[in-house]
Amino acid sequence: MGKVRVIPSTINPLTLQSINSSERRKVAAYARVSTDSDEQYSSYEAQVKYYKDFIQDRVDWDYVNVYADEGISGTSTKRRASFNLMIKDALEGKINLIITKSISRFARNTLDTITHIRKLKTAGVEVYFEKENLWTFDSKSEMVLSMLAAIAQEESRSISENVKMGIRWGYKEGKVKMPYKNFLGYDKVDGKIVINKNEAEIVKLIYRLFLRDGWSRSAIAEFLNKNNYSKPSKKTAWTTLNITSILTNEKYKGDALLQKGYVENYLEHTVKKNNGVLTQYYVENSHPGIIDKEEWNLVKEELSSRDRFKYAYSTINPYSSRLICGCCGHFYGTKVWHSNTPHRKVMMQCNKKFINKCDTPSLSKESINERFVQAYNQVMMNKKELIEDTNELITVLTDTSEIDSKIESLNNEISDLKLLIEGLIKDNTSRAQNQDDYMKRYNTHLEKFETLKVQLDDTLIERELKSQKAEAMKSFVKEIKHKQSFIQEFEPILWNTMVNEAVVNKDNKIKFKFKNGREIII
DSSP assignment of 391-416, as one string? Answer: HHHHHHHH--HHHHHHHHHHHHHHHH
Are the beta carbons of 214 and 315 closer than 8 angstroms? yes
Question: Parallel, antiparallel, or unpaired for β 25-33 and 61-70?
Answer: parallel
Strand partners, 472: none
Residue 327 lies in a domain: no
Considering the domain architecture, whether residues 212 and 151 belong to the same structural domain is answered as no
Residue 3 lies in a domain: no
Residue 260 lies in a domain: yes
Question: Parallel, antiparallel, or unpaired for β 186-189 and 192-195?
Answer: antiparallel
Q: Given 3-state DSSP classes, what are the helix, strand and coil percentages for the chain, each rounded to the nearest 5? A: 45, 15, 35
Considering the domain architecture, whether residues 189 and 277 belong to the same structural domain is answered as yes
CA-CA distance, 465 to 163, in Å (whole number)? 35
Domain boundary among 253, 284, 307: 307
pLDDT of the residue at 358: 92
Helix (H) or strand (E) holding 103: helix 103-106
Domain boundary among 159, 188, 211: 159
CA-CA distance, 314 to 311, in Å (whole number)? 9
From first to last of its 522 residues, the chain has per-residue pLDDT tens of 566 665 554 444 444 444 455 578 999 999 876 544 444 444 677 778 888 888 998 888 999 999 988 654 444 445 678 888 999 999 999 999 999 988 777 765 656 777 788 788 888 899 998 887 888 887 666 666 656 555 555 555 554 554 445 444 444 554 656 665 777 888 888 878 888 888 889 889 998 888 777 778 888 888 888 888 877 766 678 888 888 888 988 888 888 776 655 455 444 445 566 555 556 667 778 788 888 887 888 788 778 767 655 444 454 556 767 889 999 988 888 888 877 777 788 888 998 888 889 999 999 989 999 999 999 999 888 888 888 888 888 888 888 889 889 989 998 888 888 888 888 877 777 777 788 887 888 888 888 888 888 888 888 878 877 877 787 777 778 777 778 888 898 887 778 778 888 999 999 999 999 888 889 999
User: How many other C-beta atoms are found inside a 10 Å radius of the C-beta of residue 182?
Assistant: 12
Considering the domain architecture, whether residues 30 and 155 belong to the same structural domain is answered as yes
Residue-wise burial string across 135-158, b where 16 or more C-beta atoms lie within 10 A, e elsewhere: ebbeeebeeebeebbeebbeebee
Considering the domain architecture, whether residues 420 and 499 belong to the same structural domain is answered as yes
Name the region of 399 (left: φ>0; alpha: ψ -120 to 50; beta: rest).
Answer: beta
Residue 350 lies in a domain: no
Are the beta carbons of 322 and 500 closer than 8 angstroms? yes
Considering the domain architecture, whether residues 376 and 516 belong to the same structural domain is answered as yes
Residue 165 lies in a domain: no
pLDDT digits (tens, 9 = 90+) for 463-519: 877 877 787 777 778 777 778 888 898 887 778 778 888 999 999 999 999 888 889
User: How many other C-beta atoms are found inside a 10 Å radius of the C-beta of residue 33?
Assistant: 23
Considering the domain architecture, whether residues 148 and 284 belong to the same structural domain is answered as no
CA-CA distance, 277 to 165, in Å (whole number)? 16
Considering the domain architecture, whether residues 376 and 446 belong to the same structural domain is answered as yes
Number of domains in the chain: 3
Considering the domain architecture, whether residues 151 and 195 belong to the same structural domain is answered as no
Residue 376 lies in a domain: yes
Residue 265 lies in a domain: yes
Considering the domain architecture, whether residues 45 and 127 belong to the same structural domain is answered as yes
Question: Parallel, antiparallel, or unpaired for β 261-265 and 270-273?
Answer: antiparallel
pLDDT of the residue at 387: 85
Are the beta carbons of 27 and 62 closer than 8 angstroms? yes
> What CATH number did the domain enclosing 47 receive?
3.40.50.1390
Residue 75 lies in a domain: yes
237 in helix, strand or coil? coil
Are the beta carbons of 325 and 333 closer than 8 angstroms? no
Considering the domain architecture, whether residues 404 and 443 belong to the same structural domain is answered as yes
pLDDT of the residue at 312: 44
CA-CA distance, 39 to 46, in Å (whole number)? 10
> What CATH number did the domain enclosing 294 receive?
3.90.1750.20
Considering the domain architecture, whether residues 378 and 474 belong to the same structural domain is answered as yes
The whole domain housing 397 covers 371-521
CA-CA distance, 157 to 344, in Å (whole number)? 72
Considering the domain architecture, whether residues 96 and 144 belong to the same structural domain is answered as yes
Calculate Rg over the CA atoms of the chain: 34
Helix axis angle for 435-481 and 401-430, nearest 10°, is 160
Helix (H) or strand (E) holding 304: helix 293-307
Burial of 217 (0-12, 13-18, 19+ CB in 10 A): buried
